[in-house]
């Protein structure tokens, strides 16, 4: 495994899947330059936050037919009527369900109940959010 910068990652990858929080520093972190670096036939996946992507640049690149995209999140959350995301043949658009299929919702609900039980019992929380981490969390 090799740590590389974002441009190198975009140029080398067959699949780019975005997993970053929505912060001022990550807004539009993927723009025209990064998308143009992608290999022909590469796949771009966003299941994180729509605001991380310059959607006009993504649509422009998708219109070339060079890359494919799986888009679970957009900005705004529901694309406007007439958005090219609905009609482009190289786009698979889902309604923000990437983390909510199968047993994930049941597990998240159970985790929340267990945290409440720990809080009521005066036991340290397993998933406490500390103030120092807030600037990095989505």
Query: What is the rounded CA–CA span in Å between residue 126 and residue 114?
Result: 9
Query: What is the rounded CA–CA span in Å between residue 125 and residue 55?
Result: 38
Query: What is the rounded CA–CA span in Å between residue 31 and residue 24?
Result: 15
Query: What is the rounded CA–CA span in Å between residue 15 and residue 63?
Result: 18
Confidence grade of residue 109 (pLDDT, cut at 50, 70, 90): confident
Q: How many residues does the chain have?
A: 138
Q: What is the pLDDT of residues 63-84, one digit of tens each?
A: 999 999 999 999 988 898 999 9
Half-sphere exposure (Cβ direction) of 54: Cα atoms closer than 13 Å: 13
Buried-state track 31-55, b at ≥16 Cβ within 10 A, e below 16: eeebbebbeeebbbbbbbbbbbbbb
Give me the mean pLDDT over the 9-17 stretch: 97
- Decide if pLDDT at 18 tops 70: yes
pLDDT of res. 79: 92
Give me the mean pLDDT over the 44-61 stretch: 95
- Decide if pLDDT at 124 tops 70: yes
pLDDT of res. 128: 86
């Amino acid at each position: 495994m090799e740590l590389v910068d974002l441009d190198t990652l975009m140029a080398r990858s067959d699949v780019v899947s975005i997993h970053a929080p929505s912060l001022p520093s990550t807004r539009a972190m993927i723009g025209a330059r990064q998308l143009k670096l992608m290999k022909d036939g590469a796949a771009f996946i966003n299941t994180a936050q729509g605001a991380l992507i310059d959607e006009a640049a993504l649509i422009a690149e998708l219109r070339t037919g060079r890359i494919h995209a799986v888009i679970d999140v957009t900005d705004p959350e529901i694309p406007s009527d007439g958005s090219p995301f609905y009609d482009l043949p190289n786009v698979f658009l889902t309604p923000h369900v990437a983390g909510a299929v199968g047993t994930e919702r049941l597990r998240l609900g159970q985790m929340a109940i267990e945290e409440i039980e720990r809080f009521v019992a005066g036991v340290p929380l397993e998933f406490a959010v500390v103030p120092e981490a807030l600037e990095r969390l989505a």
